[in-house]
C-alpha cells in the first residue's frame, strides 16, 4: 500500500476502517502530499505485518488529529518522516506504539508546529540509529512537553 494515495492533494476526508490490511507490509508514503486531508479513519487497520511507515502522513498539513492507538508497530523498522510537515497536528495518540525494532526515526515530527505535547513514554529507541531532527521546527513543543524517560529522544530535540 506504499504511495497508494500519494499526491491526492484534493482529498479532504477518507474512511478506511473497512480496509483489510492484514497482509500489508509497506505503508510508506501512503498519504504523502494529501495536503487537504482533514479527517481520516484508520480505526480497524491491521498493521501487525507492516515494516515500513516512512513518510506515511508526509505533508498532511491540515490534519489536526490522528488516532493511531490501534496500530501494532512491533515489526516496523522505519518511521522516518512519518508526520513530516503535519503543521496543523495538535493531537496524536501513539500510546500503543512499539518501537523496539525501529532503526529510523529521523525527521519523524519535523514541522509539526502546532503540536504542544506528546507522550512517547512507550517509545523504545534501543535499536534506533537515526533520531536526528526528530522534532525540528516543532515550535510549540518544548522538551518539558515530551513525556518520556528516554534520553536519546530528548537529546534529538536539542
Local confidence band at 158 (pLDDT 50, 70, 90 cut-offs): low
CA dihedral 137, 140, 141, 145 (to 10 degrees): 180
Show me where the domains of the chain are located. Answer: 1-158
Q: State pTM to two decimals.
A: 0.93
Q: What is the pLDDT of residue 84?
A: 98
Quick check: 50 pLDDT over 90? yes
Note the pLDDT tens digit of each residue in 118-151: 888 888 888 999 999 999 999 998 877 787 777 7
Quick check: 62 pLDDT over 90? yes
Q: What is the pLDDT of residue 134?
A: 93
- Residue with grid cell 507522550, as numbered in its chain: 119
User: What is the third-level CATH fold of 1-158?
Assistant: 3.80.10
Amino acid at each position: 500500500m506504499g504511495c497508494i494515495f500519494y499526491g491526492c492533494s484534493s482529498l479532504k476526508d477518507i474512511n478506511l476502517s473497512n480496509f483489510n490490511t492484514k497482509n500489508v507490509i509497506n505503508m510508506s508514503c501512503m498519504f504523502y502530499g494529501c495536503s487537504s486531508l482533514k479527517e481520516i479513519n484508520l480505526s480497524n487497520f491491521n498493521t501487525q505485518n507492516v515494516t515500513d511507515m516512512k513518510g506515511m502522513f508526509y505533508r498532511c498539513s491540515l490534519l489536526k488529529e490522528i488516532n493511531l492507538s490501534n496500530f501494532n508497530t512491533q515489526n516496523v523498522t522505519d518511521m522516518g518522516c512519518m508526520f513530516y510537515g503535519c503543521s496543523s497536528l495538535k493531537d496524536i495518540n501513539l500510546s500503543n506504539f512499539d518501537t523496539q525494532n525501529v532503526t529510523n526515526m529521523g525527521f519523524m515530527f519535523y514541522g509539526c508546529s502546532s503540536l504542544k505535547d506528546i507522550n512517547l513514554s512507550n517509545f523504545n529507541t534501543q535499536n534506533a540509529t537515526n533520531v536526528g531532527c526528530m522534532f525540528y521546527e516543532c515550535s510549540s513543543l518544548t522538551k518539558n512537553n515530551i513525556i518520556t524517560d528516554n534520553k536519546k529522544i530528548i537529546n534529538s530535540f536539542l
